């Protein structure tokens, strides 16, 4: 296989669908598959990967922008799906029939090992059955995927601290959300502690992470299509960092693409 350490690519990230590709030397997995299976297969092929080589799909929670394609991909390429009991119960009716050997139950706050890749789940606050984030370890490297949470908690911090790559939520601009077209009930849900993280709060969380560890790559993801835009998210987060004396020497911030693969990063 050659010694590549780890590879990361956000295939899609946004309120309209999410799927993240992560590989070690010997294992390849997806975190979520929230678009039609064909689009995820096409995205994988566009970065030189084969869908049939995916060793598992790890589900963060049952909302459709995270699970839309998992049933199709599992059936077509015989891929195991990993999720906790409550998430399975919540998503089963929406993903179609899955072969028995591909139904993998994973406890919250537990670790699965596939070949040379350890995948650890941890709890996040979101209005789903049993939502989790994931930290993936291989060869001394760590990649964390943490989106869909309303408030930055100590548990999130303890798990994602010291990651070489972090995909982190910068979902909305509070003013755009407040004055935007969403109904009041939905606005209230997004702003709640089990909703989504704003650009401003994302910036504050990153300040906290930088202060406890050194230079890392952070990719901002899961942006709302209605209540945010990439330039605004990037600028808001960077201005919070600047206000706290954090510069490009301390951290690298990039954006995940909503509609297709972002850069493939190797570490």
**Alpha carbon separation from 96 to 12, 74, 75 (Å, rounded):** 22, 10, 9
Specify if 264 maps to a domain. no
Specify if 263 maps to a domain. no
Specify if 23 maps to a domain. yes
Q: How far is the C-alpha of 13 from the C-alpha of 167, rounded, in Å?
A: 10
Domain around 98: 7-257
Q: How far is the C-alpha of 192 from the C-alpha of 127, rounded, in Å?
A: 9
Specify if 266 maps to a domain. no
Confidence at residue 200, expressed as pLDDT on a 0 to 100 scale: 98
For 51, the token pair is 């869908």
Q: Torsions phi, psi of 182, nearest 5?
A: -65, 145
Specify if 22 maps to a domain. yes
Specify if 265 maps to a domain. no
Confidence at residue 190, expressed as pLDDT on a 0 to 100 scale: 97
Q: What is the CATH number of the domain that holds 146?
A: 3.60.15.10
pTM of the model: 0.97
Percent share of the chain, pLDDT over 70: 98
Specify if 32 maps to a domain. yes
Specify if 116 maps to a domain. yes
Question: How many other CB atoms sit within 10 Å of the CB of residue 208?
Answer: 13
Confidence at residue 153, expressed as pLDDT on a 0 to 100 scale: 98
196's enclosing H/E stretch is none
- Identify whether the C-beta of residue 98 lies closer than 8 Å to the C-beta of residue 51: no
Mean pLDDT of 232-241: 98
Instruction: Kindly tell me the number of DSSP H helices and DSSP E strands found in the chain.
Output: 9, 14
The pLDDT mean for the chain works out to: 96
Mean pLDDT of 212-234: 91
| Residue 164 DSSP label | S
Model confidence at 1, pLDDT cuts 50, 70, 90, reads very low
Q: Please choose, from the candidates 193, 181, 144, 163, the residue with its C-alpha nearest in 3D space to the C-alpha of residue 10.
A: 144
- Identify whether the C-beta of residue 181 lies closer than 8 Å to the C-beta of residue 191: no
pLDDT in tens, 38-60: 999 999 999 999 999 999 999 99
Mean pLDDT of 3-18: 92
Domains held by the chain: number: 1
């Amino acid at each position: 296989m050659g010694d590549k350490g780890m590879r990361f690519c956000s295939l899609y990230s946004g309120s309209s669908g999410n799927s993240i590709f992560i590989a070690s030397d010997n294992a390849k997995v997806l975190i979520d598959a929230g678009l039609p299976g064909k689009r995820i297969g096409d995205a994988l092929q566009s970065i030189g990967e084969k869908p049939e080589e995916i060793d598992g799909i790890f589900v963060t929670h049952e909302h459709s922008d995270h699970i839309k394609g998992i049933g199709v991909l599992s059936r077509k390429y015989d891929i195991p799906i990993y999720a906790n009991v409550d998430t399975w119960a919540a998503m089963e009716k929406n993903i179609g029939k899955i072969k028995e050997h591909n139904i993998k139950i994973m406890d919250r706050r537990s670790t699965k090992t596939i070949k040379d890749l350890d995948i650890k789940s941890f709890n996040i606050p979101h209005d789903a059955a049993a939502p989790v984030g994931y930290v993936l370890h291989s060869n001394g490297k760590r990649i964390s995927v943490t989106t869909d949470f309303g408030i930055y908690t100590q548990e999130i911090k303890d798990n994602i601290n010291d990651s070489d790559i972090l995909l982190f939520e910068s979902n909305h601009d509070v003013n755009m959300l407040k004055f935007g077209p969403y109904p009041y009930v939905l606005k209230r849900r997004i702003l709640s502690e089990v909703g989504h993280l704003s650009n401003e709060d994302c910036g504050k969380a990153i300040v906290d992470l930088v202060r406890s560890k050194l230079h890392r790559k952070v990719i901002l993801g899961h942006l709302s299509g209605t209540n945010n835009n990439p330039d605004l998210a990037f600028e808001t987060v960077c201005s919070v960092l600047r206000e706290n004396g954090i510069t490009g020497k301390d951290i690298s911030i990039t954006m995940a693409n909503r509609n297709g693969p972002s850069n493939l990063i190797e570490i």
